[in-house]
Amino acid sequence: MRETRPVAQPGAIAGERGTESGLPRRLGGVTATLVVIASMIGSGAFTTTGLLVGGISSTGGILLAWLIGGVVALFGALSYAELAACIPRNGGEYRLLGEVYHPAVGFVAGWISLVVGFSAPIAASALGFAAYVHALWPALPPKGTAIALVLMLSLLHAARVTLGASVQNVFAAAKVLLIVAFVVGALFVVAPPATDSLSIPFGEILQPPFAVGLILVGFAYSGWNGAAYLAGEVHEPKRNLPLALVAGTAIVTLLYLGLNAVFLVGTTRPQLRGTVEVGHVAAVAIFGDEAGRILSSLIALALISSVSAMVMVGPRVYEAMGDDYRALRFLRRRTEQGGPRLSIALQALLATLMIVTASFGELLLYIGFTLSLSAGLTVVGVIVWRRRAPELARPYRTWGYPLTPALFAAFSGWMIVHSFYERPLESLFGVATIVVGLLIYWIVRRAGLSRWD
């Protein structure tokens, strides 16, 4: 069977294809920005530093890792914004890579989104939430708590889109206010750090532990592309998508730097080393037991927003795949006022299986390797798309092009190489995920069950 690739006609994508799916554009720019913020600020924000402390010796080195992660995420957001504004349809990397490269690349990206991009981070964030709940109420089993959260939020978003979006906005805004209050409150309690503690031993930056630390930080920043997955439901996407991607990423970078500075200055390294519930440890150390418990409860509630954002966004990718492949049409079924219910159910099932079978750290490294490959290919797609369709109307053009996408792609490649070197098992699981995706694509195309057949 001859493979064909959809080639964009200049000027066709930005206007007409935004409504090709027939979905109403109910989500405004504020909601899209808050989706990015909520998707990014998850378990990684309140857990990753405990894992970094074991490999990076200096406070300055850890903060540098967080700064680099934010800059790289911003470069990615600047690049994604151009493609998302040109192709304002649901699907994220599935839609973008399928348009820019080939349907097979897009299909594998969609498969990666299902398994690694959303189900695995949902599981990791739910486990992070459960760790905080367990620290406050030890009688509650962590894995049972995590599963209950996933199921509850999945039912909510399957029931009603507008209700899910409203709940999402409230939680996202509350999470930002919580971090700001935590950082500002700590300024009045914590003594300023010694200048030498912020020095950066630059020899350490070239060592493998720093590279592993950046992989973990990369997980904490994942979600910066969240609005691109909802492009088909965003009102005025040409304006709101770039704004949401860039503004959301910049806001989160500033919040992360302040939050982790407080974590590191307000506690001792032995207190943090290997700890998942970093926010709980820091809150108790800085504000005392009672105030610390209250803040830890609020952090646990804030983590609900992260899981909610991913539960909301992920199924839009699988639904887009159902539009293109007849064998996957079941993923398109929606409730009358709600989201794609079978897509949400499939995602919840995979997340539950990962909660039961994997640890928090294993999930982070598995996620980091595979998503680096998918995101890197998408950002390179900005360069490819400029060359293939230079006449295409671009409502937004990437700032700093071509340096911005090139630096992001180089960083993604560096992370992939170091992932293989340092953690080969988790990386091989990532490769296996890609191979399975290609196999499923081949089966579907052989059966003649796609819109290109």
Name all domains of the chain by residue range, CATH numbers in brackets: 24-391+400-446 (1.20.1740.10)
**CB 78 within 8 Å of CB 399:** yes
**What is the separation of C-alpha 245 from the centre of its chain, rounded to a whole number of angstroms?**
12
Q: What is the pTM of this model?
A: 0.78
pLDDT at 19: 44
Handedness of CA 39, 42, 43, 46 (dihedral sign): positive
**CB 100 within 8 Å of CB 80:** no
Write the CA distances from 25 to 96, 262, 284, 317, integer angstroms.
19, 40, 44, 16
With H, G, I as helix, E, B as strand and everything else as coil, classify residue 320: helix
Burial (CB count <10 Å: 0-12, 13-18, 19+), residue 185: middle
pLDDT 10s digit of each residue in the chain, 453 long? 434 444 444 333 444 344 444 555 666 777 778 778 877 887 778 888 888 887 787 888 889 999 999 999 889 888 888 887 777 776 778 888 888 898 899 999 989 988 988 898 899 889 888 988 988 889 999 999 999 999 999 988 887 655 556 666 777 778 888 889 889 988 888 766 655 556 666 767 777 778 888 888 887 888 777 666 666 667 777 777 778 888 888 899 999 999 998 888 888 888 888 777 888 888 888 888 887 788 778 888 878 877 887 888 788 788 878 888 888 888 777 666 556 788 889 999 999 999 998 777 777 778 777 888 888 998 999 999 899 888 887 877 888 889 999 999 998 888 788 778 877 888 888 899 999 999 999 888 877 666 655
**CB 20 within 8 Å of CB 250:** no
Burial (CB count <10 Å: 0-12, 13-18, 19+), residue 125: buried
CA nearest neighbour of 412 among 158, 253, 225: 225
Residue with tokens 């990397």: 93
Write the CA distances from 278 to 262, 270, 343, 360, 393, integer angstroms.
11, 12, 33, 14, 46
**CB 255 within 8 Å of CB 176:** yes
**CB 35 within 8 Å of CB 313:** yes
pLDDT at 383: 93
Residue with tokens 């200049």: 10
Tokens standing for 251? 């806001």
pLDDT at 389: 84
Residue with tokens 């796609």: 450
pLDDT at 224: 78
**CB 272 within 8 Å of CB 263:** yes
Question: Which spans in 222-338 are helix H?
Answer: 226-229, 237-266, 269-272, 278-287, 289-324
How many other C-beta atoms can be found within 10 angstroms of the C-beta atom of residue 134? Answer: 20
